[in-house]
Amino acid sequence: MALLGERAVVLGASMAGMLAARVAAERYRTVTVVDRDMPPEQPMNRRGVPQAYHGHVLQAGGVAVLDELFPGILDEMVANGAPTWGDGDLSRVIIEYGGHRFLPSGFLSDPVTAYVPSRPFLDWHVMKRLSALPNVTVLGGYDVVDVTSSTDCRRVTGVVVARRDDTEAAVLGADLVIDASGRGSRAPIFLEDLGYDRPREDELVINLAYTSQWLRIPPGAIRQHMVALFPKPGDATTVALLNHENDTWLMTVGVMAGEEPARDYADMLVLARRRAPRHILDVLEAAEPVGKVAHYRTPSSRWRRYDEMLRRPDGFIVAGDAVCSFNPIYGQGMSVAALEALALRHCLRKGDTDLPQRFFRAAAKTVRVAWRNAVSADLSLPEIAGERSLGLRINNTFADMVLTAVESDPVVTSQFFRVLGMLDSPARLMRPSILARVARANLTRPQSIPAPEPALAG
């Protein structure tokens, strides 16, 4: 492949940063990833990725990209203990979305294999494969202080970095700088200092608070490998239980709209009793907590509209949560980052002329779909304040009809899984064959599968 430059520098060893670095390594002689944390020698939580302490799902769309960029990594994770779900057996998952419980039995008509590693386990495997590339260096223990530019500020030419334990700074020259430093990205400040406008921001305040706890659960105590109970009108809580590598379990509960978050495992059980089936509650109440609870807050979903900027410097792009950070309960972030990496790869194959403009516009196509899905789901909850346009109300009415069909129709359920997993566009739910099934389910109005009676708190 033809090289586009001597060096690319990636800010942040986030999932977005690592996948962007993998793509950049195809077109630049060297790639340097600058991160606050030292690369771990084994799977572990990193201070720079605080959300890794909580439940994560790599959607099917992200899985496909990961396998393309790092061939064999999925088999490697499975060999090291990561569980999978590939037969489409619905009895192995409990999912409730918008107050609708998915079919409790039967099989998906078009299943795809789901991989369920914990976030530290996944990150470590990706980091190991990335670090093995001969032209990639991970520079751990450094902060990014600033960017450098040409005298006319039309091009970013590198970054200023400083060791976290030292005051001395150094300049890393670069033909391309990729900011994947997360929600706290300083890219808007860098652009303003260079004489550009900051990007406009779309934002929806959700006031999400997470609490997570690792658990020791006896093998075979739960048939399901995943429990995911999403917020519903009147109860904006999330309860998730995930079976991760080597039969470890992670429980995450979340509250929105400013509700008081769980402080400890006892509080987590109080929230779980509002939503979880009795047999899951029995296991949770007997489970042994391992380690300390972890907490995380997300005030809002935010999309920085770099794609709309009229002026931007060459040699500088932004990816991942640094562009758009979604409500994390919907599990879109890593898969969006993966699809952005594919967009970057496609753009680089056409050279670096007008690269920022082409990349931001291409990436926005993926971000826009995920943003609409997340914001529409959040605004279906009366507890979340925000403008509900006519288009959004129509969209949410149709979504509720689809979810009604998901309670009883395995074909609609299979298609919904593919949309949820970012393999298919939401437009696939509008196909005549799917619409006919949705209409039939709503016209006949079958009795919804009853949710279990909640246990009494206390």
CB atoms within 10 A of CB 12: 29
109 and 129 fall within a common domain = no
* Number of domains making up the chain: 3
Q: Are strands 176-179 and 5-11 parallel, antiparallel or unpaired?
A: parallel
Q: Which pair of tokens denotes residue 371?
A: 């943003």
In 100-167, beta strands by DSSP E: 100-101, 114-115, 136-140, 142-149, 156-163
- Predicted confidence (pLDDT) per residue in 121-177, tens digit: 999 999 999 999 999 999 999 999 999 999 999 999 999 999 977 778 899 999 999
β-sheet with 136-140: strand ranges across? 136-140, 28-35, 5-11, 176-179, 316-318
For residue 73, what is the domain's CATH number? 3.50.50.60
| 316 DSSP assignment | E
283 and 224 fall within a common domain = yes
125 and 36 fall within a common domain = yes
- Altogether, the residues listed in the chain come to a count of 458
- What's the pLDDT score for residue 446? 54
Residue 54 lies in a domain: no
CB atoms within 10 A of CB 145: 13
CA dist 88 and 202 (Å) reads 37
Residue 382 lies in a domain: no
Residue 305 lies in a domain: yes
- Residues of the chain falling short of pLDDT 70: 445-458
Residue in 209, 210, 227, 225 with CA at minimum distance from that of residue 97: 227
268 and 216 fall within a common domain = yes
- Predicted confidence (pLDDT) per residue in 29-52, tens digit: 999 999 999 988 888 887 777 777
Cβ contacts of residue 211 below 8 Å, gap of 6+? 252, 253, 254, 261, 262, 263, 267, 268, 293, 294, 295
Q: Which pair of tokens denotes residue 343?
A: 């967009």
187 and 264 fall within a common domain = no
Domain boundaries, position 125 = 5-48+121-202+301-376
Residue 456 lies in a domain: no
226 and 291 fall within a common domain = yes
Do 145 and 34 meet the contact criterion of CB atoms below 8 Å apart? no
Do 117 and 77 meet the contact criterion of CB atoms below 8 Å apart? yes
Last residue of a domain, one of 279, 300, 321: 300
40 and 187 fall within a common domain = yes
Residue 457 lies in a domain: no
148 and 179 fall within a common domain = yes
Question: The whole model's pTM is what?
Answer: 0.93
127 and 41 fall within a common domain = yes
Residue 60 lies in a domain: no
128 and 28 fall within a common domain = yes
Among positive and negative, which fits the CA dihedral 36, 42, 43, 44?
negative
Last residue of a domain, one of 275, 300, 325: 300
Residue 449 lies in a domain: no
Last residue of a domain, one of 281, 300, 319: 300
Torsion of CA 41, 45, 47, 52, to 10 degrees: 140
Q: At what angle are helices 119-131 and 15-24 packed, to 10 degrees?
A: 20
227 and 90 fall within a common domain = yes
Q: What share of the chain is helix, strand, coil (3-state, %, to 5)?
A: 35, 25, 35
- Supply the DSSP string of 369-406, one letter for each residue: HHHHHHHHHHHTSTTS-----HHHHHHHHHHHHHHHHH
178 and 38 fall within a common domain = yes
Residue 152 lies in a domain: yes
- What's the pLDDT score for residue 447? 55
